[in-house]
Chains A and B, each alone.
Chain A
Amino acid sequence: MDTALDHAGEPPSRPAGHRGEAAFLLDASPQLAGSLNVRRIVLNALRLAVPVLGDRAVLALFDGRGVTLSACDTDGAPLPPVLVPRLAEDSALGRIRRAGRPELLHVVPGAGSADGFAGLLPDAGLRASMAGPGPAEVLGVGLTARGSTAGALIAVRGEGQGFTRADLALAEEFARHAAVTLDAARLYEERRHVATTLQASLRPPELPSVPGVRVAARYRTGQERLDIGGDFYDVHGGPGDISVVVGDVCGKGVEAAVLTGKARQTIKTAARFDRSPAAILAALNDVLYADRSDRFVTVACARLRPAPDGAGTLATIAVAGHPPPLVLRRDGTVEEPELAGTLAGVLPDLRYEEAAVLLEPGDAMLLYTDGVYEAHGRDGLFGQDRLRALLPGYAGASPETLCEIVEQRVMEHLDGRGHDDIALLAVRCGE
């Protein structure tokens, strides 16, 4: 069954007169600006250029000393880009790079003009597929934006359909639009690469698989476009002795994310020396306090080991300014261990208390941040009571399902309103 929906209607033809040209540019401009991805902008520009500017088109992007050539086949499907590692300075394309001025050629196969064509389109395969066997008119215009020429648009027409001055002006105007968008996209890609590299260690981690328990987590940042924020979770340790952590640093966005990276690393390092949650939180507090910053962190930390008599898992828990984890028993009972502790980073020499909880097979434990209970919806805050009331129906559910249902209910409660970062981590004790 052919399920493709055809919205294109009549293929666009070459514009007639000023009005047609203005309409073409008016239509093309938002389509060019619609993406900040270089590859997509190249595809958009190629599609818009044909057939208005030429029967076929190639987009050349200068890259160091070379050039990358992109084109589509006759069906509009993108051909693999061709990288020409070194562009001759005195070629037509080289001149466009240096001077940004247009180049117009009348190409007759076999004649001397073929050399000129090679200078404008330095790839034999592309020349063959663009111009065919007969004579052709070829126009190259620079993609110039903000004072530099980033590439060229090369348009090819059959013989007898040469480029008028109006055609040239239209091609140059189109190229200016494309160039501004491409310039922004290149800048965006460079910055994104820097940001992605720096972000890598701040992203929520992949969860390790741990024998005997199942762990799942969810993370939703308050700032939708970001992957990182001021909440964090982590799981570390080895078989038979793991730590699970959920925390929240003051502030939000990138600045907060930097502090979560530090908190996570400190917790992980502290756990290598002493896995007791109270010791980990005391070490975290010492390190953050020593920094003398006014920033603080709240954390819930649990250590999970097989119970001494072999049945179930023993959880040792400590908190720093954070609600204790909720324990969801297999029969649907919800418990909250009695436990308190001061948030980390503000006061010196804190000691933390621990509580021990025995998790039997089928029991689960949920760690969460204030993005859950402080989610502000039409009916007020989501609150701890709604959270506790929700859980009994999910006794025995997988930790993934537990996290998912809490996230879903909180988002439904918000009903499109803004929210703080939300982190959830659920552990279920295996059979």
Chain B
Amino acid sequence: MTTTTETAGLAFPRFERALAVGDAGEGVGVVDELLDRGVEPTVLLLDVISEAQRRIGERWQRGEWSVAQEHIATGVSVAATEAIARWVRRLPVTRGRIVVGCAEREWHSLPALVIATGLRERGWNVAYLGACTPASRLSAYLHDAGPDAVAVSCSVAWALPGTRQFVEAGTSAGIPVIAGGIALGADDTRARALGATAWAPGLREAADVVETLPAVVEPARPLGAEELAEQRGLELNHRTLVETLRRRWRPQDTFTEGTPEHSDIAVVVGDCAEQSLCALQGALLTGDGRLLGDTATWVRSVLSARRVPEARVTALATELGLLLRDYPRAAALLRAHWPGAA
């Protein structure tokens, strides 16, 4: 007899094909069929949908897929997750109320939708706010609904400042906040620094930790004033800094202008510049320099996959250092954690 995990595993290639061709109907069909065959929603959420999404990210990173392809495939995953969400809504509500969402600048709503769906399966009364929710809107919702907890998902470092605002909105109303998502890293350092009540790297952990939350928490402590001032400065000048970086650091010039390689890398370079500066902001907010090390690794893999020579890749560290002359704390973090930065 096959287990439900094996059943889901057998259907996985079909689901991946649906993502590759952008066929939402087929994606939903695969999920509906597995639910009918008794596969648990959590298994589908983790072993099918989250796993497929992880592979999409890798395909983009290796340069095999465009951003649009990635979006279209994610759209199929969202449709499939919504099908699971419809299915779990038939289950009775047996626990308290939880608000799940993403902060401003966070457009990756799927992880939050996965968490929302998984918590609903476990009997929580979940309100899902979706992507890019301003903190003022969250606050209004918290006043209206008075939930037992807030769960915030953060996938990109760019959304860490907004995630901190979510923490402030929740905890200043006395409501505990669970934070998770890849931008929060592999341990609780960043969640703790942002003032979250708990850290949950995934659905199973979130489901466990939500049981242990205090009913009331104190307002999150203020962040370090100097770090915060530098982060705000970087945020305010972000566009200018990204443009300066793009102008000075031009790894695409390895290739002839007008070639597909040149234009592909010009786009990727924008992402690398954005990510690096966002990682600096995140490191200032959380004190976690690993954000920089991880971003350096990511930049390297993205550019190496596109055959950019080593010297052009390492030039980024130098350019970043030059850019941060007015930001001593950010510059110190860069030197300490970005390989090759001096």
Q: Do A and B come from one complex?
A: yes
Known A-B contacts A5-B192, A37-B143; A225 and B72 likewise in contact (beta carbons under 8 Å)? no
A324 sits at the interface (CB 8 A):
no
Give the residue among B140, B214, B219 with the most A Cβ atoms within 10 A.
B214
B79 sits at the interface (CB 8 A):
yes
A291 sits at the interface (CB 8 A):
no
B342 sits at the interface (CB 8 A):
no
B293 sits at the interface (CB 8 A):
no
Interchain CB contact under 8 A, A396 and B145: no
Bound together, the chains give a CA A34 to CA B220 distance in angstroms of 12
Bound together, the chains give a CA A430 to CA B26 distance in angstroms of 12
The interface residues of chain B lying within 8 Å CB-to-CB of A266 are: none
Interchain CB contact under 8 A, A43 and B196: no
Interface flags, A12-52, vs B, CB<8A=1, else 0: 00000000000000000011001111111001101100000
Quote the shortest CB–CB distance from A25 to chain B (angstroms): 15
Quote the shortest CB–CB distance from B79 to chain A (angstroms): 6
Quote the shortest CB–CB distance from B167 to chain A (angstroms): 11
A397 sits at the interface (CB 8 A):
yes
The interface residues of chain B lying within 8 Å CB-to-CB of A185 are: 143
Known A-B contacts A3-B188, A378-B239; A225 and B216 likewise in contact (beta carbons under 8 Å)? no
Interchain CB contact under 8 A, A394 and B68: yes
Bound together, the chains give a CA A38 to CA B137 distance in angstroms of 19
Quote the shortest CB–CB distance from B222 to chain A (angstroms): 12
Interchain CB contact under 8 A, B215 and A72: yes
The interface residues of chain B lying within 8 Å CB-to-CB of A63 are: none
Interchain CB contact under 8 A, B140 and A397: no
B146 sits at the interface (CB 8 A):
yes
A401 sits at the interface (CB 8 A):
yes
Interface flags, B135-162, vs A, CB<8A=1, else 0: 0110110111110000000000000000
Interchain CB contact under 8 A, B213 and A394: no
From 150 to 183 in chain A, residues with beta carbon under 8 angstroms from any chain B beta carbon are none
Bound together, the chains give a CA A398 to CA B173 distance in angstroms of 38
Known A-B contacts A4-B197, A37-B142, A400-B78; A394 and B215 likewise in contact (beta carbons under 8 Å)? no
Interchain CB contact under 8 A, A8 and B173: no
Q: Indicate which residue in B72, B104, B132 contacts A394 across the interface (CB closer than 8 Å).
A: B72
B310 sits at the interface (CB 8 A):
no
Known A-B contacts A31-B174, A400-B79, A401-B71; A78 and B215 likewise in contact (beta carbons under 8 Å)? yes
Q: Indicate which residue in B74, B131, B173 contacts A40 across the interface (CB closer than 8 Å).
A: B173
Interchain CB contact under 8 A, B216 and A47: yes
Interchain CB contact under 8 A, B107 and A408: yes
Interchain CB contact under 8 A, B22 and A38: no
Interchain CB contact under 8 A, B146 and A224: no
Interchain CB contact under 8 A, B173 and A396: no
Quote the shortest CB–CB distance from B171 to chain A (angstroms): 8
Known A-B contacts A30-B219, A40-B146; A3 and B72 likewise in contact (beta carbons under 8 Å)? no
Interchain CB contact under 8 A, B215 and A47: yes
A2 sits at the interface (CB 8 A):
yes
Q: Indicate which residue in A4, A34, A401 contacts B174 across the interface (CB closer than 8 Å).
A: A34
Give the residue among A31, A38, A415 with the most B Cβ atoms within 10 A.
A31
Give the residue among B72, B139, B191, B209 with the most A Cβ atoms within 10 A.
B72
27 contacts between A and B (CB under 8 A): A2-B212, A4-B213, A5-B199, A7-B195, A30-B172, A34-B173, A34-B219, A37-B142, A37-B146, A37-B173, A38-B146, A40-B142, A43-B174, A76-B215, A77-B215, A78-B215, A188-B143, A224-B136, A225-B137, A393-B67, A394-B71, A396-B72, A397-B75, A398-B24, A400-B78, A401-B78, A415-B239
